[in-house]
Structure 1
Amino acid sequence: MGILSGKTALVTGASRGIGRAVAERLAADGARVGVHYANNGTAAKDVVTAIEKAGGEAFSFRTELGVPDDAVALWAEFDKYADGLDILVNNAGVGLTAPIDQVQEIDFDRLFAVNVKAPFFIIQQGLGRLRDSGRIINLSSATARIAMPLVAAYSASKGAINTLTLTLAEALAPRGITVNAVAPGIVETDFNPWLAIPEMRARVERYAAFGRIATPADVVGLVAFVASEEARWITGQILDVSGGSGLGNGSA
């Protein structure tokens, strides 16, 4: 019996990277996990298979985010597998790397549609399914507090998520629902393919206090803690899990 036994969790964008690691960890802690994905069904099925082989429970389903009525479609699919929810992890997101004078409006709109609008309405339309004393965990980014001109638009989207987290924590407190954001730094996943460039990798390694690049395993422990009963008195927090990125004089 894990600490999340009897709980149902949903992790958006859980077919790879941090989302996959979070799904597998929550399942290991006893939760039945919904593995949402947008494109790679094979990878999502691999996540479910890995969870089941480890003795956990999971199901996968596909919906696209950043399109009209994406939240409606997501919950319609979720409802086919579960009749309620205890833990919602808004992990799915897209990136945009470009200086401000090169950001195209169509790309900006897509970024905010996926990173801000989708989680806003997923939460809004999921509140009737989320049980009292539930957990909402939003994946933010350390770039919302560190000035990185090449990801200005992405950073702004995560700043919006931080503000949403604070607001919802106050609004949902009467139901005992906690709302927190977990803010990683740069993590070794296919979300950051440019880490394959040696000089860029070396630069990022210098930027973190520990002198290395994070892995998803460095992030999931905090997510699991916030999802647990032990974190019942923690809400409205932006929890940094960036390995001390930006503490010194490094430059990313």
Structure 2
Amino acid sequence: MSFTNDLSFHGKVAIVTGSGRPSGIGAAIAAALTVRGACVTIDYVYDASAPRAAEVVESIRAKGGKATVVRGDIDILVNNAGIAPMTPTVEVTPEEMASVFRTNIQGPLFLIQAALPYIPRGGCIINISTCLSRMGLHSPVYTTSKPALDSLTHTWALEFGRKFCITVNAIAPGITKTEISPPNDHPEVRRLLDMTRLEGRMGTIEEIADAVVLVASPLSGWITGQYISVSGGVNWI
């Protein structure tokens, strides 16, 4: 038996989807991995996002990290990209529903199909879920798509764990402060803050990133198939 307290990712390659927004969770995850030695690819979808993605890359490089498009083994895959419209049920269109499920479910599934041959034994997949998926709050379509991702997490943990020795876990943030967060006096935000056991505030993108670092590290090598709430102890019971 070997013991380690190493949170270094030197020599590791990571892909973090949805990491092109400087103040977003994905960018914080990318920064947290690169500062510990990983080489991270910064992912964005729309042309309009290119300058912001470049800003993320430059910020990481300015701190001595490595952020680029790479070819080779992928040690860490973080499925962070997602969309969360707040449309009420009676106003949801077929196009919006298809868009949410295409991004939040089909995107991770098809990315894993493409990446799996390049993930070595001992690699990890981390899906970014949400504590809202168990609370019946926020967008009905979004909060339906995330439990589907949670279900895939459990299925992939068995499917990829037995065959490839790859761990698969879900990190579920609570309400987190980003550039697109509603204000603190928003009714849904206030309700969530009232449910938070720790400090009664929004989480930070860095706190979500720290949880990803821990789950991606060798310290979590025997943890798989888990839904891990990173929400300040939000109580949905």
Same fold judged by TM-score > 0.5? yes
Give the letter aligned to residue 115 of structure 2. Answer: G
Q: Distance in 1 between matches of 2:117 and 2:210?
A: 28
Aligned with residue 148 of structure 2, among 130, 152, 160:
160
Over the matched positions of the two proteins, sequence identity in percent amounts to 36
Letter in 2 for 1:19: G
Q: Which of 36, 41, 45 is 1:38 aligned to?
A: 45
* Alpha-carbon distance between aligned partners in 1 of 2:105 and 2:232, rounded to the nearest angstrom: 25
CA deviations on 1:8-63 (whole Å, 9 max, x unpaired) are 0000010120000000000011100001111311111111111111111111xxxx
Residue 11 of structure 1: aligned partner: 16
1:235 is displaced (CA, Å) by 0.3
Query: Which runs of structure 2 are paired with 1:1-150 in the superposition (5 Å)?
Result: 3-16=8-21, 17-39=24-46, 40-59=49-68, 81-148=70-137, 150=138
Counterpart of 1:66 in structure 2 is none
Are the counterparts in 1 of residues 133 and 147 from structure 2 also a CA contact under 8 Å?
Answer: yes
Q: Describe the SS at the equivalent of 2:228.
A: strand
1:199 CA displacement:
5.3
Q: Quick one: distance in 1 between partners of 2:92 and 2:52?
A: 31
Unpaired runs of 5+ residues, structure 2, are 1-5
Deviations 1:57-76 (A, max 9, x none): 111xxxxxxxxxxxxxxxxx
Question: Relative to structure 1, is the Cα distance of residues 235 and 206 closer, same or farther in structure 2, using a 3 angstrom cutoff?
Answer: same
Report how far residue 209 of structure 1 moved.
2.0
* Aligned ranges 1:173-192 → 2 under 5 Å: 173-174=161-162, 175-192=164-181
Q: Who is 1:222 aligned against?
A: 211
CA distance in 1, matches of 2:56, 2:13: 16
Matched residue, 1:195 = 183
- Cα distance in 2, alignment partners of residues 19 and 121 from structure 1: 19
Q: Between the two structures, name the one with larger relative contact order (CA 8 Å, sep ≥ 6).
A: 2
What is the aligned partner in structure 2 of residue 64 from structure 1? none
Alignment of 1:235 onto 2:224: yes
Aligned-residue CA RMSD (Å): 1.8
User: Is residue 2:197 matched to residue 1:209?
Assistant: yes
SS of 2:122's partner is strand
**Aligned residue type for 2:227:** I
Q: Does 1:170 align with 2:158?
A: yes
Equivalenced residues, count: 226
